[in-house]
Amino acid sequence: MPQAPDALLPAPELSAPIGPGNVRREGHSKVTGNALYSVEYQPDQIGATEPILYGAAVLSTIARGRIAAIDTKNAQAMPGVRLVLTADNVPRQSPWGPLNAPVRFARSQPVFFDRTVRYFGEPVAFVVADTFENATAAADLVSVRYEPLDASIVLKESGGINPAPLHGGKSADSRTGNFDEAFAQSPHQIDVRYDTPYQNHAAMELQGSLAHWKDGKLTVYAPAQIPDAMQEGLAATFGLPKDRVRVVARLIGGGFGGKLPYFSDSVACAIASRILKQPVKFSFTRQQMFTATTHRPAVLHHVRIGVGADGHIHALAHDVVSQTASFDNYLDGDTMGAKGLYRADAIQTTQRIARLDLPRSDSMRSPGDASGTLALESGIDEAARLCGLDPVEFRLRNDTQINPSTGQPFSSRHLAECLRQGAEKFGWSTRRKRREGEWLIGYGVAAAMRDNMLRPSSAEVTLAPDGVLVARLAMTDPGTGSITVLSQIASEAMGIPLDRVTVLIGDTDFPPTAGSGGSFGAESAGSALYEACVALRGALQSKAEVAAGTHLHFADGALIAGDRRYPLGRLVGAAGLTVQGHTAPGMEAKRYAEATFGAHFVEVAVNAVTGEMRCRRMLGAFAAGRILNARTARSQALGGMIWGLSSALIEGNVVDPRGQFVMRDLANYHVPIMADVGAIDVMLLPEIEPVANPIGIKGIGEVGINGAGAAIANAIFDACGVRVRSFPITLDKLL
């Protein structure tokens, strides 16, 4: 009798990465310019016989109102113009939404379906021509007459509504214990308001699409973080069965949540391509990206912390109002930190949304937590100082192994170890707040947490007679290293050398996955691929007909049974062997709270004369389960931390009185450059996640940003004694 496949699987090494830092498998093609992104495909690469046409978009110039008339005569008379798509001639599509759809990114999203203008910079017309230049020139000649209405564009605490009715009645609020009572009885009280700004997506690759109809089937090449959601959304928009829509997203030049939704570029290209019977491609310009895609909403935070004489948090409240578009329901889960970071007798969180006449807000790296922890972890620092406690000690004293809002034990939580080991490496206990000439030197710390989520995913593996393994799954790689870590998982599980493993992703023709987002990508797709490998091992073992009790393992492309060696390729026969694997959250997801934890330590210098702020040193210590690849994991952590720095000191957009984002290019929308960063280091603590998934990992893509900005804000206060509660902390606010 063959052994159960499970018995074959080596327990993952608890601390060792699978790959000690394998470089990204697609990296060479990217840095040599050979990598193909969605709008770069040529006709022969998409199986088209006709030339590709080019689109250009016209965006609204009012924040709210009606389109009285669109004059396209002049545009249509321009050379090479083939189509001008507006509300006057757009084919029928399904209505927008629904708002309470189970998957927000799979909603129907029609373009130009009415004459209402909902925000400044909303696409109102789409010009298609034979060349990019002709389309762009013609788009300038589309003339739109608007009837403007008063727009509501200012985020106010009083403007928030309870989003529950827009989310099928599901409340985002939480309440444990009696906050008011516990707060009133606390000898130390912090009651402060913070605000965090709009941030815009500015990934290297712009949002764009290439659409092609062939034999009644639509294929869209687009940088979709979740191809399956986009496929469902496009199918819904056009009233097509899902199998008549294919989404291809082989490479993505940066996602960060900005490519979780799909956008009007895909829909407009698909419509135009169907009408014109030619492939159509279009990319928003950098300037258009700032309104025609999504952004991180501005958030108003009210943080209250009541602490007992013993330094224990008795009461914690985080009440937020965040912006959403007038026609949307996006909720920026800003209160997750308050719900799970610290033990407290009473915790209250409320989340309200303000529906404003601004572009759609949606996910941006660690959506909610990134803004939420800027406020919360600043407030925790204020509370520690009020009690006269070291901020590391204060956090340790209020650490917990039980999620205080749900009562579930954490499946693995090493926040205390992150704080202790990070402090040790950083030299926290020997830090010396001081003045060096004009510069005031200060230190800050903050905790980081990001929920861990496994999402249903599938994968398929094919073992060929030559012993090469090919995995197929509709996962994506927005630069995170998905292709690399998936290859490593398959290589390890099968004992097949990495160079004999190929992972094909980014195509809805492959088994569906949750895609990349919410730090769930590697865990969900990786677990599905692992399960496929487990199934393949079982099938191979049956073929080898190994006697019961024989010691088995897979190594060097072979099944080793006792002293016999079966090369895998020979076991599968001439046809090869294909099997599928699937993963979905099980009972453990109900029994345990799951999250990745970390701690940030920062040294800043503040110029006492000019107010200039410099981050000199940053250290992030993270416990994120088993690390699949030390190099890509570190890169994720570094990127998150630098974004945290950006959020603390540099980044944020403002809305002008017309309702337009003021900064709309990379000259004005500032993000950190190397000189802003200083010395930066990442520690990855040895940890194995015991229950969340079969591969012992946890999400690491987003946790790095959480708390990083607050550690900087806390260091600035430490240096100069000024607490700025409005982010980013630009020097005008400091002086």
- Residues in contact with ligand MOS by CB under 6 A are 225, 255-257, 260, 363-365, 367, 517-518
Q: Return the sign of the alpha-carbon dihedral for residues 91, 95, 101, 104.
A: positive
Residue 162 Ramachandran class (φ > 0 left, ψ -120 to 50 alpha, else beta):
beta
Tell me how far CA of residue 348 lies from CA of 80, 122, 544, in angstroms.
60, 37, 59
Which run of H or E residues covers position 508?
none
Q: Report the alpha-carbon distance of residue 725 to residue 735 in Å, rounded.
A: 14
Between β-strands 299-307 and 313-325, what pairing exists: parallel, antiparallel or unpaired?
antiparallel
Match 């007909």 to its residue by tokens: 545
Closest alpha carbon to 137 in 31, 249, 58, 191: 58
CA distance 295 to 653: 10
The strand ranges marked E within 418-507 are 434-436, 439-451, 457-463, 469-472, 501-504
The helix-helix angle for 227-238 and 264-276 (nearest 10°) equals 50
- ∠ CA 529-532-536, nearest 5°, is 140
Smallest gap from residue 451 Cβ to ligand MOS (A): 11
Partners of 559 in beta bridges:
554, 566
CB 651 within 8 A of CB 199: yes
Q: How far apart are CA 689 and CA 115, in angstroms?
A: 52
- For residues 520 and 622, which CB has a smaller minimum distance to ligand MOS in the complex? 520
> Are 648 and 717 in contact, with CB atoms under 8 Å apart?
no
| Minimum gap (Å) between residue 118 Cβ and ligand MOS | 23
Distance CA 280, CA 83 (A): 11
Tell me if the bond preceding 98 is cis, omega within 30° of 0: yes
CB proximity list for 368: less than 8 A, separation 6 or greater: 331, 332, 333, 334, 335, 336
What is the rounded distance in angstroms from the CA atom of residue 286 to the CA atom of residue 668? Answer: 12
| DSSP three-state, residue 133 | helix
Closest residue to ligand MOS using C-beta atoms: 257
The C-alpha atoms of residue 642 and residue 657 are separated, in whole angstroms, by: 31
| Tokens found for residue 230 | 């986009």
Are 612 and 731 contacting, i.e. CB atoms less than 8 angstroms apart? yes
Least distance from ligand MOS to the Cβ atom of residue 539, Å: 35
Q: How far is the CB of 516 from ligand MOS (least distance, A)?
A: 6
Q: CB–CB of 38/227 below 8 Å? A: no
Which one of the listed residues 460, 492, 687, 702 is annotated catalytic?
702
Q: Minimum Å distance from CB 619 to ligand MOS? A: 24
* 506 beta partners: none
Nearer to ligand MOS, 373 or 714 (CB): 373
Judge whether 702 counts as a catalytic residue.
yes
Q: State which residue, 260 or 703, has the beta carbon closest to ligand MOS.
A: 260
Instruction: Report in angstroms how near the CB of residue 256 gets to ligand MOS at its nearest.
Output: 6
Pick the closer one to ligand MOS by CB: 195 or 702. 702
- Please provide the size of the chain in residues: 735
Q: Are 330 and 436 in contact (CB under 8 A)?
A: no
Answer for the pair 9, 493: CB distance below 8 angstroms, yes or no: yes
Q: How does DSSP classify residue 178? A: -
User: Quick one: DSSP state of residue 705?
Assistant: T
The set of catalytic residues is 702
